[in-house]
Structure 1
Amino acid sequence: LTPTLVRGLDYYTRTTFEFMGEALGAQSSLCGGGRYDYLIEEIGGPPTPAVGFASGIERLVFSLTEQGAEGGSPEVEVFFAVEDDAARPEVLAALADLRRTGRAAETDYAGRSLKGQLTQAGRLNARITVIARSDGATVRRGGERDVEFGSLAEALESL
């Protein structure tokens, strides 16, 4: 804590903060910000007390790399593809249940076609893909044959 910290911008009021990295030398600031209670008012807006911050993504990545952190995407265990929209509410509930138990699960939120969703599952390297329909579900595991189920609940029990 440095009570004399000055961020160099006149619009800050009261509290300012800065997070520093050790491996960056003269460019050691990773993130900084503070309160700017009068800024909006000064540019013609209503009185709006505010807090803001900014960070340098490259600096954060460099600092994490220097500390031994490894990048990459987390592995997706289960990907839910929705064949018809009637199955979506049940898929979202199943997705939340799996995540609550600590399993990495994903689904499509962009409204892609089934083919697009399966492509997305492949890009994410999902170990299991569940294709949900209103009348059942298909479970696809890597190179194994697809297994059909009469309901999404039955398919989930097989996971």
Structure 2
Amino acid sequence: MQQIEQEKSYWSDEVMVGEVVYPPGSTLGPRIQPTLQFVFVHAGRITIRIDEQTHTIAANSAFVLYPGHREYFVFAEDSETIHSWIHISLALVEAEMITRLQQLAWPLPLSPAMQQLMHDALALRASAFPTVKEMLRALAIQMCWRYIGEGEQLVARI
């Protein structure tokens, strides 16, 4: 019991990270998005209905979801869908970040640098550092700025 309580104390409600494998044809939702969330699709595909708009996201893509929207996910019918995600509390995010995120193309290509940031965040789940919360906060903000930078660079090329 003490080990479980100790592990919980290392995790912050401000940043949550995970990776999931959905079997073919799986669904998730509907749900109301509670936080800012970055989603990285590694394999398969996701068809997501956000409010009344439907989008299909291919493998090797990254996208952002915003709080307050109703979402329903349908995962690839013909293969597993593997994706990772990070939820970030709006308390950590500057208004400028949201403004700049909303001006970007959607989705973005999933870059090796973004994959590495997610890998680092996922690796923290198994660590017992007393600074895990702070490290996750820093990685989340770095991920946000990286996504903005890559998206703005893509727009500049067009």
Same fold? TM cut 0.5: no
By percentage of residues, which structure has more strand? Answer: 2
By percentage of residues, which structure has more helix? Answer: 2
Please give the TM-score of this superposition, normalised by the length of structure 2: 0.25
Larger radius of gyration: 1
